[in-house]
Amino acid sequence: MKVVAAVFGGVLMATVSGAALAEKTVERFDANAEWNWEGELTYVDGKMDLCSVQASYDDDILMFMLDRERNFMLGVVSPDWKLKKDSEALVSYWIDNYKPYKGKAIAAAPTAIIVGLPQSDTLFEQLRMGSKLHFDFRDETFWYGLDGTKKALEALWTCVDRGLATEAMAAKLAGQAKPPASAGDPVIPAPVKEIAAPGATSFGELTVGTSKEATGVQQQVFRPDTPKIFVNAQVLNVANGVVVRGEWIAEKTDAAPANYRIDSAEMTLNGFQNVANFSLSRPDAGWPAGDYRVDLFVNGKADKSVRFRVEK
């Protein structure tokens, strides 16, 4: 565990936090002892930096990571590799018989790679509930059993919550501290500065397209015969029980009054969903040409909007 943390921790401090010489502390925790999943919570200069969970597979090690922004990463260590540090290569990976994903692997060390994973609740659920992770890298195919990942990935998610909460509490206590008064000095109570708790749930990146998968590619114009339009919304600082809603608005079309509300849908998130998907199917006569908007709400409060057009 300590060897892998040194490999990945050092690289991530340099590339993610930019603090290779900063003070680092590590808190270890049980991610799922039944299946030998171990976890680490890393702080850099008192700020939550990275959470990771890992398990050993003979000589190889598989690791999943989340940083403070909940960017999801996969790490693999294999002693048989002899990679050039910081080199890059394309990889494909898939769970069981589901469709493959493509990504870029960066060599964190001669025997270790890091792969950034997409913000996809579908992928997250496949990793939690699947049986095998298959991995194509450098013309070789590897696979790793996913026993115990359901609990391990839940522990990874709550690790970020715990790290941010601990950071906020430490900052609050530091704000309340004051140096001792000198003899004869009047003692004037210092004002207590309230430090905000970890950020409230909100929407991050929004994409509109014809697929439920959040590709990060924004499609702005659709044809009237488009079968279904999706809005894929990244959810930041998600908390269990948060209610999100999407409202589909026809801003300006020939078929309805201005800003006509077509439909709406809402869902209640658990603490592990970082993407919310909203969709609307094509009307029987096709999408009327014009301008459309989707308004997104968190617990009834307007948060973000995204627009698109339909053109003949």
Same domain? 159 vs 247: no
Within 8 A by CB and 6+ apart from 21, the residues are: none
- Tell me the three state secondary structure of residue 162: helix
**Whole-angstrom distance, CA of residue 133 vs CA of residue 144:** 5
In a domain, 179, yes or no: no
Does residue 297 surpass a pLDDT of 80?
A: yes
Give residue 241's pLDDT: 83
pLDDT, tens only, 174-199: 765 545 545 444 444 434 333 333 45
In a domain, 176, yes or no: no
Of the two residues 239 and 47, the one the predictor is more confident about is 47
pLDDT, tens only, 26-85: 888 888 888 889 999 988 888 889 999 999 988 899 999 999 888 899 999 988 899 998
Same domain? 6 vs 132: yes
Same domain? 136 vs 262: no
Q: What is the mean pLDDT of residues 103-130?
A: 89
In a domain, 226, yes or no: yes
pTM, 2 dp: 0.54
9 in Cβ contact with 27 (< 8 Å):
no
**Whole-angstrom distance, CA of residue 246 vs CA of residue 248:** 7
Main-chain dihedrals φ then ψ at residue 42, nearest 5 degrees: -110, 130
Give residue 20's pLDDT: 43
In a domain, 189, yes or no: no
Give residue 136's pLDDT: 92
Q: How many CB atoms lie within 10 A of CB 240?
A: 12
Give residue 188's pLDDT: 41
Same domain? 252 vs 134: no
Same domain? 121 vs 266: no
Q: Which domain holds residue 69?
A: 2-163
CATH code of the domain in which 247 resides: 2.60.40.10
Does residue 307 surpass a pLDDT of 90?
A: yes
E strands, 130-269, are 132-137, 140-145, 202-209, 221-222, 228-236, 243-253, 260-268
Express as a percent the part of the chain with pLDDT over 90. Answer: 43
Mean pLDDT, the chain, rounded, equals 82
Does residue 102 surpass a pLDDT of 70?
A: yes
Express as a percent the part of the chain with pLDDT over 70. Answer: 82
Give residue 66's pLDDT: 92
Does residue 274 surpass a pLDDT of 90?
A: no
pLDDT, tens only, 153-169: 999 989 998 888 888 88
pLDDT band at 214, cuts 50/70/90?
low
The structural domain count of the chain equals 2
> Between the ranges 177-186, 196-205, 219-228, where is the mean pLDDT highest?
219-228
Rounded-to-10 torsion of CA 62, 68, 71, 75: -20
